[in-house]
Structure formats: C-alpha cells, structure tokens
C-alpha cells in the first residue's frame, strides 16, 4: 500500500469552507469584491510569495499541495520529503534532450498534455506556471512563483521543456 502522507504532515482534507461560503466570512468576501488585487496581495504575503502572484491559479495549487487539500490532483508526497534542490537541467539545456525540445517547439500543446498526464492533471493544464509551481513544491525544488511566472512570460517553451526533462529524469531515478 503506498504511503500517501508523510508522518507529521497534514492529512488529506478539503478546504475548510466552501467555494460559495461568503456568509461565513463577509469581511474577506467584501475585501475580495471591492479590492481583489489587495486580497491577492495579502494571500501572496501570507504564502511568502510576490504580491502579484496572489490572484492566480498557481497560488491556489501551491496552497493545496502544501496543506494536502483534495481537489483535482491527489497529493501523494508532501513537500519537504525531498531535500531542497534545483531543477536537474538548466532552462536552456536543450542540447541535453533534443527530442523534448523539438517536441516543445513543434507541438507545444502536445508536450503540455504529456506533462499534465504525468502529473495526473487535465490535459490543458500542462503548459502553465501553475503546474510548474505545483511540481516545484511537490519535489522541493528551489524557486518562487514569481520566477515561474517570469519563466513562462519570457520563454514558456523553454520552461515547459525543462519541466518535462526533470520529470523524465525523476522517472529514470525512480523518484517520480
């Protein structure tokens, strides 16, 4: 039977409030309604991230992964199980795996779908910064959501190829 939680980590759970439970905390709902960017900045600050990262899907994905909250992707490894590392290949290391780079260059959506399949996510989720942030959190890879965002703004193909190379290397090492 696979271990789905590391001892001392958070047990699998759901969010403590529902998506439409504004009546349980009117002040937060009003804050989000009248100053959505301010609420996002507050959330990002609580998570130790850059202010502009608080209103996107990635912060929610990182939060779910960090606290083992059920949603679409079941977390089978808690953050911290792995020692802090960097990605195993550089952002521009296409020479180390030309086939992945060609795959990304000529069929970017297909590469993203492959990554999403590896991560147990919906096919269209594989090319965004959210999947990179979840992957980094799951495998304790150094970085931040701001770095993930800038990677995808500046060169989304390179970032997606780097992620796929890292997944393949972890499969070879038996740690994926």
Q: What are phi and psi of 85, to 5 degrees?
A: -140, 180
Q: What is the pTM of this model?
A: 0.62
Is residue 166 included in any domain, yes or no?
Answer: yes
Half-sphere exposure of 165 (CA within 13 A, CB side): 24
* pLDDT, tens digit, 9 for 90 and up, residues 40-50: 778 878 888 77
- Calculate ∠ Cα 154-144-12, nearest 5°: 125
Domains: count for the chain? 1
* pLDDT, tens digit, 9 for 90 and up, residues 105-156: 999 999 999 999 999 888 888 888 889 988 998 899 998 888 888 898 889 9
Range of the domain at 143: 94-173
Is residue 24 included in any domain, yes or no?
Answer: no
Position 3 scores a pLDDT of 46
Tokens of 55: 């209103």
Biggest CA pair distance of the chain: 55
Instruction: Return the sign of the alpha-carbon dihedral for residues 73, 63, 51, 23.
Output: positive
Is residue 157 included in any domain, yes or no?
Answer: yes
Cα gap 88→45, rounded to integer Å: 29
Is residue 21 included in any domain, yes or no?
Answer: no
Is residue 126 included in any domain, yes or no?
Answer: yes
Is residue 104 included in any domain, yes or no?
Answer: yes
Is residue 73 included in any domain, yes or no?
Answer: no
């Amino acid at each position: 039977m696979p271990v789905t939680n590391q001892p001392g980590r958070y047990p699998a759970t759901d969010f403590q409030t529902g998506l439409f439970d504004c009546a349980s905390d009117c002040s937060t709902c009003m804050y989000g309604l009248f100053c959505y960017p301010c609420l996002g900045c507050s959330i990002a600050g609580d998570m130790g991230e850059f202010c502009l990262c608080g209103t996107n899907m990635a912060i929610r994905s990182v939060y779910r992964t960090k606290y083992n909250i059920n949603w679409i992707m079941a977390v089978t490894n808690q953050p911290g199980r792995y020692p802090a590392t960097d990605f195993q290949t550089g952002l521009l290391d296409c020479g180390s795996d030309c086939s992945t780079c060609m795959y990304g260059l000529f069929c970017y959506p297909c590469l993203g779908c492959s990554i999403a399949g590896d991560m147990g996510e919906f096919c269209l989720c594989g090319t965004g910064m959210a999947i990179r942030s979840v992957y980094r959190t799951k495998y304790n890879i150094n970085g931040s959501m701001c770095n993930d965002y800038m990677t995808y703004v500046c060169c989304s193909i390179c970032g997606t190829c780097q992620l796929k190379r890292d997944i393949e290397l972890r499969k070879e090492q038996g740690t994926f």
